[in-house]
Amino acid sequence: IEASETPRPVTLRTNTLKTRRRELAQALIARNVNLDPISKWSKEGLQIYESAVPIGATPEYLAGHYMIQSASSFLPVMALAPGPNQRVLDMAACPGGKTTHLAALMGNTGTIVANDFSKERIKALQANVSRLGVRNTIVINADGREFPKLMGGFDRVLLDAPCTGTGVISKDPSVKAEKSYQDVQRCQQLQRQLLLAAIDSCNAHSQEGGFIVYSTCSVCVEENEAVVDYVLSSRSVKVVETGLPFGVEGFTRHRSKRFHASLKHARRYYPHAHNLDGFFVCKLRKFSNSLPAEAAKKAAAGRGKRAEDAEDEDEDDEDEGE
C-alpha cells in the first residue's frame, strides 16, 4: 500500500520514427535533464530524475521526439509485438501513447485503427498522432463493444481496457476512497464485453498473427484473470506467453476461485516489486473464427428464442387486427 502511494518515476518513450534513444538522451542532458536509460527491458525508455526545464515543453517534445508515458504502458505493446504491414486495432486508444508506440514498431507501415469511445479524449489522440509523425493510423470514435459490426479481420488487437485504476493510486489517490466493489463489478462487465469484441475483431487465419493483448492498470483479480477466464469458454482463444522479460505470473487460483491453468502465462506488475504502476498483461491467440461448440449452442438457442418471441409478437399483432 505504501509503494502504491509513492509517485512513480517520470519516464519517456523515445519516438523511434524521428530519433534514437542515445541522440534524445544527449539532447536532454544538454538541457540539464538528469536521466538514465531503462536499459534492462526497454529499447526506447528513459527515466527522468530531475529537470531544469519543463519536460513537456522542450523543443524535442514539441518536435515529437518523445512521449511522456508510464513505463508500465510500454508492456502491452511489447507483448503484442506488431510487425511491418500488419492491420492492427487499438480498441481503447486515448491518449495515444500505445498507438504511437505501435506505429513506431511497425515503422509507419501497415494500418492502425485507433478507436476510442470518448469524443473529448479523441482530440488528445489526434494531437499525439500528429506530433509524433504517425502516418499509418486512422482515428475512429466508436463504442468498442460494437466494433466487430464496423470492421474486422485484424492481424492483431490491443485492448487496454477501462478499469478502476487500482494500480495507479499514486496518480489518483481518490481511487482508495471513491471506488467500491460495485465499481469493480461494473468494470468487469464492460471489460468482458470489450474483450469479446476485441477477439471477434481479430482474424484467426491471419498469417501475421491472430493475437490479442488484454491489459489493465488494475491489480484486482476480478478485472484481470476473471475476465480472461470468462472469454476462454466462449471464444476459440488460448492464453500464450507474453514474451515479456519479467513480471509475476498471473493467478490460477485466488481465494475460493479457480482459473484456467494457462493464466500463469499472464504477467502482473506491482509498485513494490517493480517500481512500476500496478499493471496486468495477458496475450491470447485466436485459433478459430468459429465459436466453441458449447458457446455456439448457447448462441443458437438465443437466436431460436428470439425467433420464437418474434413469432409470438406477430401472432399477437394478428389477433389485435382481428
Binding-site annotation: residue ranges for S-adenosyl-L-methionine: 116, 143, 160
Kindly tell me the sign of the dihedral angle through the C-alpha atoms of 195, 197, 201, 204.
Answer: positive
8 A C-beta contact, residue 292 and residue 233:
yes
- Tell me the longest C-alpha to C-alpha distance in the chain: 87
238: left (phi over 0), alpha (psi -120 to 50) or beta: beta
Residue 207 burial (CB count, 10 A): 8
CA distance to 111, 163, 195, 261, per residue, from 202 (Å): 14, 22, 11, 24
Mapping DSSP to helix (H, G, I), strand (E, B) and coil, where does residue 312 land? helix
d(CA 179, CA 293): 38
d(CA 98, CA 211): 16
d(CA 2, CA 208): 43
Mapping DSSP to helix (H, G, I), strand (E, B) and coil, where does residue 72 land? helix
How open is the CA angle 16-160-202, to the nearest 5 degrees?
Answer: 90
Tell me whether residue 217 is one of the annotated catalytic residues: yes
Cell of 161: 481496457
Q: Which position among 94, 163, 217, 282 bears the catalytic label?
A: 217
Residue 205 burial (CB count, 10 A): 10
CA torsion 121-124-128-134 (nearest 10°) is 50
8 A C-beta contact, residue 98 and residue 73:
yes
**Annotation: binding site:** 116, 143, 160
Catalytic residues: 217
